Amino acid sequence: MESKIRRDIESYGFKNVSHIHWNLSTPALYEEIVRRREGMIVHLGPVCVRTGHYTGRSPNDKFIVKEPTSESKIWWGDVNRPFDPEKFDLLLYRLQAYLQGKDIYVQDCYAGAHPEHRVPIRVITETAWHNLFSRNMFVQLKDRSLLMSHDPEFLIINVPNFRAVPQLDGTHSEAFVLVNFGKKMILVGGTSYAGEIKKSVFTILNFLLPQEKILSMHCSANVGPEGDVAIFFGLSGTGKTTLSADPERKLIGDDEHGWGEDGVFNFEGGCYAKVIRLSKEHEPEIYECTRKFGTILENVAFDINTRRIDLNDASLTENTRAAYPIPHIPNAIREGVGGQPRNIVMLTADAFGVMPPVSKLTPEQAMFHFLSGYTAKVAGTERGITEPQATFSACFGAPFMALHPTVYARLLGEKIRKHNVNCWLINTGWSGGPYGVGKRIHLPYTRAMVKAALNGSLAQVETRHDPIFKLEVPVRCDGVPDEILDPRKTWKDSDAYEEKARELAGRFRENFKKFETQADAAVRACVPGA
């Protein structure tokens, strides 16, 4: 097999590499990580690593190669910026030269748990810990005979110690994430932040699957005792991972899914959870994953003598992460598939403190809020973000959407109507005032709202109409004080609330202008009032 893999690697242009570590097991990768001093084993078995300068995604360093097979389909703009194909080839040549004489690590796996819609990939890394990350995050092939015949459709090459020269390579900085649909290749370099690997693969699926009428989604998903599937949309930091890891429900996945004719399926084989100030009391399932062999703890602080971690220490970054295989969650569905959704929950972390904690959405409102993708960027998720900032990210994941947002929104609307799905908007952000004045909504309250939405009881509750945001807001919810459900009542100054709410409504209107011409009248009618 060594000779076959070497021939495959050489066919990509990578020649004269030293040793090829092909599909090493987790224990073997641990040995490599320690031997190469890439990380340290800490209390109870996780491995701790540092990513250096880059502790979050670097969106300004991501490009899509402008080439004939994909050019007419890409949503070009601030999110998907074009990259010269000749510059890509030159950078690839330099990268191939860089890897000569070096060891490389190879993982063959799948993106997508559904056997009919999964994409075979091969991940080549220069470090053992990034290879373990890939092994954790994507769908593994347990059968060695299948590994022998694995035929990857896309190649992902991760070389964090290779730094680009912007003047020569046409990049924005020393870091780069280059997606080439024509060559079916992704190059990631200059950054050790492992999230770039997983999100670049997500970009691939967001390009391929909607063209097959499969909705690709930045969401978590779980299933209840009665087989009722729930989808949670939201950007990083809004609570997708936390709220979907429910001991009373089985986890399908925490971040990326597809929605096809026979239901929902996970894109990944693992979870990549934020763990800063993780609470054993409020998030017991994820907390336990930070204490297990096989978990990668990224930028998590620990005592060098006792090797015990400190999840409250944000000295390196607010964006501390744990990457672990999904079986680490005791009630996870290992197959990664579920049926048709009964409920959709859209999560927003409202930094203005004016959005209702929970609202019932019509299909048209769901499409509007899906296209708007309002939330707050949370500290640490991206470089340069030190406190929450209001933002609109189409489809709750614009940085990863290769096609125009309306492609995904139309698919969403079609599936909601076809399967009669209940839709909810839940604010996991601030109450009683904006960021810096109010407080983040108490997690147990949010859990109570989610529980009531999913078990059907909230749909039976009387609602009040919010005239500014045009939302129907339940007036009561078990386990939540009534005044919490009306954000105006949590503010000391009602006039200040009114002013801030209308300010946010104006931002919704301004943001939606770019979708107005392509949205139907029913969706346009959902735009918040003046």
Contact by Cβ (8 Å): 525, 364: yes
Residue 303 annotated in active site: no
- As a whole number of angstroms, the distance between CA 177 and CA 188 comes to 5
Region 244-257: mean pLDDT is 92
Q: Which member of 130, 183, 321, 451 is catalytic?
A: 321
Contact by Cβ (8 Å): 254, 240: yes
- Residue 377: the pLDDT is 65
The dihedral of CA 296, 297, 299, 303: what is its sign?
negative
- Residue 530: the pLDDT is 55
- Residue 1: the pLDDT is 63
pLDDT of 388 strictly over 80 = no
Residue 255 annotated in active site: yes
Q: Which member of 55, 57, 125, 317 is catalytic?
A: 57
Q: Which member of 218, 369, 377, 383 is catalytic?
A: 218
Give the type of residue at 483.
E
- The number of beta carbons lying within 10 Å of the beta carbon of residue 403 is 20
Residue 240 annotated in active site: yes
N-to-C CA span, the chain: 66
**pLDDT, tens digit, for every residue of 472-523?**
999 999 999 999 999 999 999 999 999 999 999 999 999 999 998 888 889 9
The per-residue pLDDT of the chain, averaged, comes to 94
> Treating both helix axes as pointing N-terminal to C-terminal, what angle do 494-512 and 363-372 enclose, rounded to 10 degrees?
80
Enclosing H/E stretch for 235? none
- Residue 246: the pLDDT is 87
Percent of the chain scoring above 70 in pLDDT: 97
pLDDT of 315 strictly over 90 = yes
Q: Which member of 236, 244, 317, 391 is catalytic?
A: 236
pTM of the model: 0.93
Which tokens hold the place of 495? 């006039």
- Residue 406: the pLDDT is 93
- Judged by average pLDDT, the poorest of 60-64, 243-247, 291-295 is 243-247
β-strand partners of 266? 257
- As a whole number of angstroms, the distance between CA 433 and CA 448 comes to 22
Residue 320 annotated in active site: no
Please state the separation of Cα 406 from the chain's center in Å: 20
Q: Which member of 62, 240, 257, 274 is catalytic?
A: 240
β-strand partners of 375? 391
Percent of the chain scoring above 90 in pLDDT: 87
Region 119-147: mean pLDDT is 94
**pLDDT, tens digit, for every residue of 102-120?**
999 999 999 999 999 999 9
Residue 57 annotated in active site: yes
> Treating both helix axes as pointing N-terminal to C-terminal, what angle do 128-137 and 26-35 enclose, rounded to 10 degrees?
150
Region 457-463: mean pLDDT is 95
pLDDT of 379 strictly over 70 = no
Residue 321 annotated in active site: yes
pLDDT of 216 strictly over 80 = yes
- Residue 126: the pLDDT is 98
Residue 218 annotated in active site: yes
**pLDDT, tens digit, for every residue of 398-411?**
999 999 999 999 99
- As a whole number of angstroms, the distance between CA 267 and CA 258 comes to 7
pLDDT band for 145, please (50, 70, 90 cuts).
confident
Q: Which member of 122, 130, 198, 199 is catalytic?
A: 199
- As a whole number of angstroms, the distance between CA 75 and CA 56 comes to 24
Q: Tell me the three state secondary structure of residue 522.
A: helix
- Residue 245: the pLDDT is 82
**pLDDT, tens digit, for every residue of 512-528?**
999 988 888 899 999 99
Q: Which member of 61, 254, 255, 466 is catalytic?
A: 255
Q: Which member of 127, 191, 203, 241 is catalytic?
A: 241
* DSSP, residue by residue, 336-403: -B---EEEEEEEE--TTS-S-SEEEE-HHHHHHHHHH-EEEEPTTSBTT--S-EEEE-GGG-GGG--S
- As a whole number of angstroms, the distance between CA 313 and CA 299 comes to 10
pLDDT band for 435, please (50, 70, 90 cuts).
confident
Region 212-226: mean pLDDT is 96
Exposure of 429 by Cβ count < 10 A (0-12 exposed, 13-18 middle, 19+ buried)?
A: buried
- Residue 499: the pLDDT is 94
- Residue 282: the pLDDT is 84
Region 461-471: mean pLDDT is 96
Contact by Cβ (8 Å): 443, 451: no
pLDDT of 384 strictly over 70 = no
Which tokens hold the place of 105? 């690590």
Domains of the chain listed by start with CATH number: 2-39+62-212 (3.40.449.10), 272-328 (2.170.8.10), 340-524 (3.90.228.20)
**pLDDT, tens digit, for every residue of 2-35?**
678 888 899 999 999 999 999 999 999 999 999 9
